[in-house]
Structure 1
Amino acid sequence: MDKKKPKKVFVQGAIPPEKIANSIANHQSKTNIGAHSIFLGQIRADEIDGKIVTAIDYSAYEEMAEKVFHEIRESAFSKFDMTCCHIYHSLGKVKTGEICLFVFTSSAHRKVAIEACNYLVEEIKAKVPVFGKEIFEDRTHQWKVNK
């Protein structure tokens, strides 16, 4: 694996739509790219034990989590012929309907972009030490279990 400098992944609060749009626009000049795949994780208003989730408050030991994000990203580059890969994850409170995870892969061909994006999302969910506290409409909370 390359010894690339780790990229900052964490964004305070929700990931704004403008960040997603700008990421796409910034790749228009890269004419060796033929496909992009994007995963957007959005906060759901789940009902749990009769209470509705209104937000998730994300926390992490940032230094450790950034290292794991970097390892996953580099692993994806070694497995897939990607041109670009960007990952952003929220920290802090993200309300229902807002975006908390943005994974963006690019390659010459669609199959690679799609497979790499799926791989990254599954690895992130399985390995990155990011914790979410579900906040309910009555202001009570509980730790979220990843599914």
Structure 2
Amino acid sequence: MSEKKIKNIFINGPISADFIAKSIANHSSKTDIGGHSIFLGQIRQDQIDGKSISAIEYTAFEELALTKMHEIREKIFDKYPLSCLHIHHSLGKINIGEICLFVFTSSKHRKPAIDACNELVERIKTELPIWGKEIFADDTHQWKENS
């Protein structure tokens, strides 16, 4: 693994629109970038067994998740000609309609940014030890299964 510092991807609470906008604005001075790809994961109001989800509470095995994310990040940089790659994942209770995942990739051309962003989202969902507890409107809960 490289000597690069492991980046903390976790944010306590929802990811705000201001945070996302500032992240995008910070790239306007990087004039070698021609394409960005952004994925925003939002909590939706699913119905399960006749009950409405009101929030998801995320927890993680943080040290392991950050080490694994660092490995994935390095592999993605080796695979795609990216200029930038940013990942932010919420921890704690995130209400319906709020953003819980922000993946932002940039490259000279759009295709590598899009492909890298898509691969990152899939790998985050399948490889990182992050769990979501679905909280229903009646205050009952169950562990979420990723699909």
Distance in 2 separating the partners of 1:66 and 1:94:
20
Residue 15 of structure 1, CA deviation: 0.5
State yes or no: 1:107 paired with 2:107: yes
Per mean C-alpha deviation after superposition, the further-off stretch among 56-65 and 1-10 is 1-10
Q: What SS is found at the alignment partner of 1:2?
A: coil
Alignment coverage as a number of residue pairs: 147
State how 1:130-145 maps to structure 2 within 5 Å.
130-145=130-145
Distance in 2 separating the partners of 1:30 and 1:74:
21
What is the TM-score of this pair, normalised by structure 2? 0.98
State the AA in 1 paired with 2:67. Answer: K
1:38-83 CA distances to partner (integer Å, 9 max, x unpaired)? 0000001000000000000000111111111111111110110000
Q: Return structure 1 stretches of 4+ with deviation > 6 angstroms.
A: none
Aligned-CA RMSD value: 0.7
1:74-109 CA distances to partner (integer Å, 9 max, x unpaired)? 111011000000000000000000000000000000
Distance in 2 separating the partners of 1:3 and 1:111:
28
State how 1:22-41 maps to structure 2 within 5 Å.
22-41=22-41
Distance in 1 separating the partners of 2:99 and 2:75:
25
What is the TM-score of this pair, normalised by structure 1? 0.98
Distance in 2 separating the partners of 1:117 and 1:10:
18
**Residue of structure 2 equivalent to 1:88:** 88
Q: What SS is found at the alignment partner of 1:104?
A: strand
Distance in 2 separating the partners of 1:77 and 1:145:
29
Distance in 2 separating the partners of 1:15 and 1:67:
22
State the AA in 2 paired with 1:118. Answer: N
State the AA in 1 paired with 2:69. Answer: F
- Uncovered stretches (5+) of structure 1, i.e. residues with no partner: none
